[in-house]
Structure 1
Amino acid sequence: MTQSTFSGAGRRNAGLLSGLQALGGANPALVVALGGLVGQQLASNPEYATLPVSLFNLGMAIGILPAAFFMRRLGRRNAYFLGALLGICGGLTAYLGITISSFVIFSLGTILAGFYSSYVQNYRFAAADSVSPEWRPKAISWVMLGGLAAAIVGTQIILFTRDLWPATPFAATFLAQAGLAALAIPLISLLRSDAIQSASVHTSTSTGRSLWEISKNPRFIIAVVTGMVSYSLMSFMMTASPLAMIGCGHSVRDSTLGVQWHILSMFAPSFVTSMLINRFGKISITLLGIVLIGAASFAALAGLSVTHFWTSLILLGVGWNFSFIGATTLVTDCYRPEETSRVQAFNDFLIFGSVALSSFSSGKLLAKQGWNGINVWTFPIVGVVSLALIWLAWHERQHKNTPAA
């Protein structure tokens, strides 16, 4: 069920989903900010320090397809309940791993937290499916705004709980992570399930096109690749940043606040992203986002002060916001209602599979080539994707201007 205007059930659900994003968005914020530091304490080999973060992203990628299955069979709202339960289990397991100094159990907790994020990532699509096509950028932006609260909540929880129990640093933080997942349950119960339901759940007369056929569309290919690149580069750099800052002699507080500024910059632009997309076009704003990710690496290579790190993280966050929201809206243009569920799952599976690989490789690359090595890798990737988006804009303009036969 969609709304012709941004009002009614669609607006109400977008607001609730924004709140759920605030709670669920704190989940990766905690894991990314602390996973490498805890991993460094518990792992026998420093190259494996970022493995818990990588396993979080792997859990998110692996969980995408089962999450899509449960959404089709149970409906989105009921599946979101299951996701929240996984989030609770993830926080409790990570807490246990820290208290008994087990790297394996802590890593298992981050995998479960990743499973929870598989459901959280669907919130933006649920909002888009609640409204008519012209309102999709606004609905997606509303959900992404929940990340602003996630940045503040996540950071303050870290600062308040990190040394609450001096014998087991950060244990209380992951216990709080489980509490945030539990708080999502009452919000999920308020969702209008008919408005957020994927159209494919209700459609039995048509199965739509195959993924192979859909994947032949250049717009879809470039949108998915852009989503993969924007999220992977963001994860690649953000995973390494706390370790690099500590390695450069900066404090845990400085690195945590850096992550907070980064997450704020990831979501704060959502106030204007939909307006910019409507004004300048989806491809233009997506391209701007990719270019800003490249600028983040320039800032990182310019120096090793706190200011350089924070500037890089802020540019990285803004760039991710523009490129990821832009890529998401490009993807929503490429499928029919009956194709919604499997295309969204396929898109997110590819994105978060690449994110898992990038976060794991960032730890190894940081150990072998240092912070500069992390950032140099960004430029050729940004260049290729930028050229692809420029070509897509040219191709669609040519197609639009070609007279019908």
Structure 2
Amino acid sequence: MTAGAQQQQLARRNVGLLMAAQALGGASPPIIISLGGLVGQMLASRPDLATLPVSLYNLGLALSTIPAALLMRRLGRRAAYVAGALLACVAGLVAWSGIVQGSFATFCAGTALAGFYGACVQSYRFAASDAVAPPQRPAAISRIMLGGLAAAVIGPQVVIWTRDAWPTAPFAGSFLGQTALALLALPLLLQLRMPPPQAEAAADAAARPLGVIARDPRFAVAVVAGVVSYGLMAFIMTAAPMAMVGCGHTVGEAALGIQWHVLAMFAPSFFTGRLIARFGKVAVTAAGLLLIAASGLLALAGLELLHFWGSLVLLGVGWNFGFIGATALVTEVYTPAERAKVQALNDFLVFGTVALASFGSGRLLNTAGWDTINTAMLPLIAAVLLALAWQGRRRAAAT
């Protein structure tokens, strides 16, 4: 077998392992998101603090993006990913302990600790794209997102089957399930064979300063599209379970709504890569933002179960197109010597915004209501669509 064929085989193997690890690691956020606000309502001293556990998870993820990137650069991706899974085991136990003891602060500490694992899981898509040739990157990113299909089933089903497993502490068993999922991911991550970090470090002299890259209009538009796609999705998804329960729907119906939403987030990955190859990254990203706008309009149409579920499904598909398209746009901006710091900056900006969005969603839901949340996102989407149209014209002129 030639060296090129061996390299392609190794790349396929790594992408397959990362896809399976995504299925397990991606199941943790649905547990935290679907239950975080409900446990917060049960334990918090004030109603406006109910979404704090979810917000702290997103904040922990955002703050962990740069340390995780530095750890990957120093020790390699495999070591960093294994460390993330081990910390997720601890995080699940801490969250479980907080519920059993009735301690809101301890529960919040557990969800915040889970953020480091979330940062590692989010970087799986970049690890896959770095393993293949540039024309294959959108397809590799889509394959990693396919692991989310299993996560969309695993996470909510863990909630449904384990929420009453601890009779004296509702929902505590679900966070033990979170620990079990991280343990199952460890053997997969230990089998990864990624390039040693020294191979990237040797190219540091050729890398541009991060400030120069950040001022590149291509980077700015890609980051803004990713920020808005992911930020709006997190904003709506954090508030949706509480809004559903507040409108008379059951906890199980809220969890199933999140399950349909997460399925819709990842199911299009079967063909998103092909759509990008056919229509281009800018067009697919714009289509995603239009679908997110459509989800808001459907949510404004009524408060029946089908309005909530339909809105969450459109939101998920829109996120898939918008976020995968924006990620693919980011991969055009950096060289191999620059990718670690550019990927870290991109994820810090995206997930920092997600954290801010989730901090504000609970307060806005209590003060302004569900309709206001869905109305407020429409002007943001319009602004990003204009930026993408400008970027599309620039690309066409360059071609």
Shorter-chain TM-score tier: over 0.9
Which segment drifts farther, 349-358 or 213-222? 213-222
Paired AA for residue 355 in structure 2? A
2:352 aligns to what? 353
- What is the CA distance between 1:5 and its match in structure 2? 11
Distance 1:6 1:154 in 2: 34
Distance 1:75 1:163 in 2: 40
Paired AA for residue 280 in structure 1? F
1:54-74, CA deviations, whole angstroms, 9 ceiling, x for partnerless residues? 000000001111101110110
1:78-113, CA deviations, whole angstroms, 9 ceiling, x for partnerless residues? 111110111111100000000000000000000011
- What is the CA distance between 1:7 and its match in structure 2? 4.1
Paired AA for residue 348 in structure 2? F
Alignment check: 8 A CA contact 2:204 2:337 kept: no
Distance 2:204 2:340 in 1: 15
State how 1:180-219 maps to structure 2 within 5 Å: 180-194=181-195, 201-204=200-203, 206-219=205-218
C-alpha change, 1:262 and 1:3, in structure 2 (3 Å) is farther
1:378 aligns to what? 377
Distance 1:3 1:329 in 2: 24
1:403 aligns to what? none
Distance 2:246 2:282 in 1: 38
2:225 aligns to what? 226
1:126 aligns to what? 127
Distance 2:185 2:36 in 1: 22
Distance 1:200 1:248 in 2: 55
Alignment check: 8 A CA contact 1:4 1:132 kept: no
2:91 aligns to what? 90
- What is the CA distance between 1:373 and its match in structure 2? 1.1
C-alpha change, 1:361 and 1:4, in structure 2 (3 Å) is farther
Alignment check: 8 A CA contact 2:27 2:154 kept: yes
Alignment check: 8 A CA contact 1:198 1:340 kept: no
Q: TM-score, normalising length from structure 2?
A: 0.97
- What is the CA distance between 1:387 and its match in structure 2? 0.7
- What is the CA distance between 1:3 and its match in structure 2? 6.8
**Structure 2 unpaired stretches of 5+:** none
- Superposition misfits of 4+ residues, deviation over 2 angstroms: 2-7, 197-205
- What is the CA distance between 1:115 and its match in structure 2? 1.4
Distance 1:5 1:221 in 2: 37
Q: Per the alignment, in what secondary structure is the counterpart of residue 321 of structure 2?
A: helix
Paired AA for residue 175 in structure 1? L
Paired AA for residue 209 in structure 1? R
Distance 2:11 2:94 in 1: 36
- What is the CA distance between 1:193 and its match in structure 2? 2.1
- What is the CA distance between 1:396 and its match in structure 2? 1.5
- What is the CA distance between 1:157 and its match in structure 2? 0.7
Distance 2:7 2:33 in 1: 34
Distance 2:198 2:10 in 1: 15
- What is the CA distance between 1:166 and its match in structure 2? 2.4
State how 1:196-275 maps to structure 2 within 5 Å: 201-204=200-203, 206-275=205-274
Paired AA for residue 302 in structure 1? A
Distance 2:324 2:137 in 1: 10
Distance 2:159 2:231 in 1: 24
Q: Per the alignment, in what secondary structure is the counterpart of residue 209 of structure 1?
A: coil
Distance 1:348 1:181 in 2: 22
Q: Per the alignment, in what secondary structure is the counterpart of residue 26 of structure 2?
A: helix
2:57 aligns to what? 56
1:307 aligns to what? 306
Distance 1:3 1:291 in 2: 41
Distance 1:200 1:348 in 2: 23
State how 1:336-351 maps to structure 2 within 5 Å: 336-351=335-350
Paired AA for residue 56 in structure 1? Y
1:160 aligns to what? 161
C-alpha change, 1:330 and 1:20, in structure 2 (3 Å) is same
Aligned length: 397
Paired AA for residue 349 in structure 1? F
Alignment check: 8 A CA contact 2:282 2:388 kept: yes
Distance 1:131 1:146 in 2: 18
Q: Per the alignment, in what secondary structure is the counterpart of residue 277 of structure 2?
A: helix
Alignment check: 8 A CA contact 1:92 1:178 kept: yes
1:276 aligns to what? 275
Which segment drifts farther, 212-221 or 328-337? 212-221
- What is the CA distance between 1:252 and its match in structure 2? 0.6
Paired AA for residue 20 in structure 1? A
Alignment check: 8 A CA contact 1:61 1:349 kept: yes
Alignment check: 8 A CA contact 1:199 1:338 kept: no
State how 1:69-84 maps to structure 2 within 5 Å: 69-84=70-85
Distance 1:275 1:3 in 2: 24
1:67 aligns to what? 68
Q: TM-score, normalising length from structure 1?
A: 0.96
RMSD between superposed Cα atoms in Å: 1.5
1:150 aligns to what? 151
Alignment check: 8 A CA contact 2:75 2:197 kept: no
Distance 2:271 2:259 in 1: 20
1:158-215, CA deviations, whole angstroms, 9 ceiling, x for partnerless residues? 1100111221011010011011111111001111122xx5686342462410111112
C-alpha change, 1:242 and 1:338, in structure 2 (3 Å) is same
- What is the CA distance between 1:384 and its match in structure 2? 0.3
Q: Percent identity?
A: 55
Distance 2:398 2:173 in 1: 57
1:290 aligns to what? 289
Distance 1:34 1:382 in 2: 28
C-alpha change, 1:278 and 1:74, in structure 2 (3 Å) is same
C-alpha change, 1:109 and 1:39, in structure 2 (3 Å) is same
Alignment check: 8 A CA contact 1:5 1:131 kept: no
Distance 1:373 1:113 in 2: 30
Which segment drifts farther, 242-251 or 115-124? 115-124
Q: Per the alignment, in what secondary structure is the counterpart of residue 168 of structure 1?
A: coil
Alignment check: 8 A CA contact 1:258 1:313 kept: yes
